Amino acid sequence: MSYATAVPASRRVFIDKQSPKAYRALVKAADAVRAVADEAGLDRRLVELINLRVSQLNGCAFCLDVHTRAALRAGETAQRLGVLAAWRDTELFTERERTALALAEVTTDPANAVAQDGAYEQARQVLDEDEISAVIWVAITINAFNRVSVLSKHHVRRIPSTPGSPRE
């Protein structure tokens, strides 16, 4: 079999189900990271923006679905979520949010040393050390969940419309 041949989703191993102890450890780590983010004062909406931006970069439909709903529950707006992929090209995000998003991006693509140095330098000017650490940990954690979902080909299930909700 060549690497170019796609393995059907039905043949993928759901590694979270196959190795539940490892997955539970990842969930426990995510709980610890959530506490670190809270202690550092990161707003839940910012955490969800980080989760979404990293999931966009990794092409993780499952995590995009989960974290879009979480961001909306946290009070994020549809407008900002709609333009998140182009956050640099809009003034809808604060300097603090832009700094965190840049740091999350370089955490997701650590091979780009120039971008990493620039994002880190900006972070040192805008965020304190607890916030920098929390942003990086949030990005590391969602990267791990993205890999689990992408490699397992987790499905996004359609959520039925409720009265008053936007139609698809």
Residue 140 lies in a domain: yes
Specify the CATH number for the domain of residue 106: 1.20.1290.10
Q: Looking at residue 164, what is its pLDDT?
A: 56
Neighbours of 143 (CB within 10 A): 21
Any domain includes 147? yes
Residue 70, in any domain of the structure: yes
Question: Looking at residue 167, what is its pLDDT?
Answer: 44
Q: What is the span of the domain harbouring residue 45?
A: 19-152
Q: With respect to residue 118, please indicate whether it lies within any of the assigned structural domains.
A: yes
State pLDDT tens for residues 61-107.
Answer: 999 999 999 999 999 999 999 999 999 999 999 999 999 999 999 99
More confident of the two residues 10 and 76: 76
Please indicate, yes or no, if residue 160 is contained in any of the structural domains.
no
Q: Which amino acid is at 105?
A: E
Q: Pick the closest to residue 69 from 156, 163, 167 (CA basis).
A: 156
Q: What is this structure's pTM?
A: 0.89
Domain count across the chain = 1
- The reply to whether 9 falls in a domain is no
Q: Are 132 and 126 in contact (CB under 8 A)?
A: no
